[in-house]
């Protein structure tokens, strides 16, 4: 890591951790109707756009550092967050949006397979699969509207956030193992 610039991989992992933790908390709050779904979705839409922009900035930084995998992953996440926000906006108007979340889940599964094939840390592949499950269960929640799917995307969001945060800390301190 350069002394005069932030490692985009570490910063991006912290941002993935924050994003998935927020999705997880939203899922847990929506479980059993503990919170207003409309209010949480509005908050999420407002939050997703700036997060998407930050991911796209990390994409440019990763390109400048020569990290093609991080650049493609962060670029995809940035575009996915813009898509999720647009999908949620359309969903508030009555349009079906679950397909968009299924597609995001499939793309994260593909990124997990690529990470595994190129020899990236296995924990990264696990993180990508957890994020895929978050998006798939968000889609199922919108399709079915059951509390079980809110609980599942909440749990997987918290797990993905914890894994991403651990990986960011491990990479930044170089004192913890990244499997």
Q: What is the pLDDT of residue 161?
A: 93
Question: Which tokens in the block code for residue 95?
Answer: 């349009």
Q: What pLDDT is stored for residue 24 in this prediction? A: 87
Residues in the chain: 179
pLDDT for 43:
65
Supply the pTM of this predicted model: 0.80
Q: What is the pLDDT of residue 1?
A: 47
Residue with tokens 């930084």: 61
Question: In 3D, which of 87, 105, 13, 95 has the Cα closest to residue 48?
Answer: 87
- Position 136 scores a pLDDT of 93
The CATH number of the structural domain formed by 8-172 is 1.25.40
**Confidence at residue 141, expressed as pLDDT on a 0 to 100 scale:** 86
Residue 166 contacts residue 21 (beta carbons within 8 Å): no
Give me the tens of pLDDT residue by residue for the chain, a chain 179 residues long.
445 566 788 888 888 888 888 888 888 887 766 655 556 666 666 777 888 888 888 888 888 888 887 888 888 888 877 877 777 676 666 666 777 788 888 988 998 998 889 888 888 899 999 999 998 998 898 888 788 998 999 999 999 999 999 998 988 888 777 77
What is residue 175's three-state secondary structure? coil
Q: Given this model, what pLDDT does residue 32 score? A: 66
User: Encoding tokens for residue 149?
Assistant: 């799917």
Contact 102, 139 (CB under 8 A): yes
């Amino acid at each position: 890591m350069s002394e005069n610039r932030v490692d985009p991989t570490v910063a991006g992992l912290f941002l993935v951790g924050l994003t998935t933790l927020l999705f997880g908390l939203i899922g847990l709050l929506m479980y059993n109707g503990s919170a207003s779904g409309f209010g949480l979705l509005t908050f999420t839409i407002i939050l997703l756009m700036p997060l998407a922009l930050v991911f796209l900035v990390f994409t440019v930084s990763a390109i400048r550092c020569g990290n093609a995998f991080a650049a493609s992953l962060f670029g995809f996440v940035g575009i996915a967050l813009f898509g999720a926000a647009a999908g949620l906006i359309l969903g508030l108007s009555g349009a079906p949006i679950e397909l968009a979340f299924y597609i995001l889940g499939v793309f994260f599964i593909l990124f997990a397979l690529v990470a595994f094939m190129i020899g990236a840390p296995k924990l990264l592949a696990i993180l990508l699969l957890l994020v895929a499950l978050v998006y798939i269960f968000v889609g199922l929640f919108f399709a079915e509207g059951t509390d079980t799917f809110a609980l599942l995307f909440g749990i997987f969001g918290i797990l993905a956030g914890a894994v991403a945060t651990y990986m960011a800390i491990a990479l930044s301190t170089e004192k913890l193992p990244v499997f």
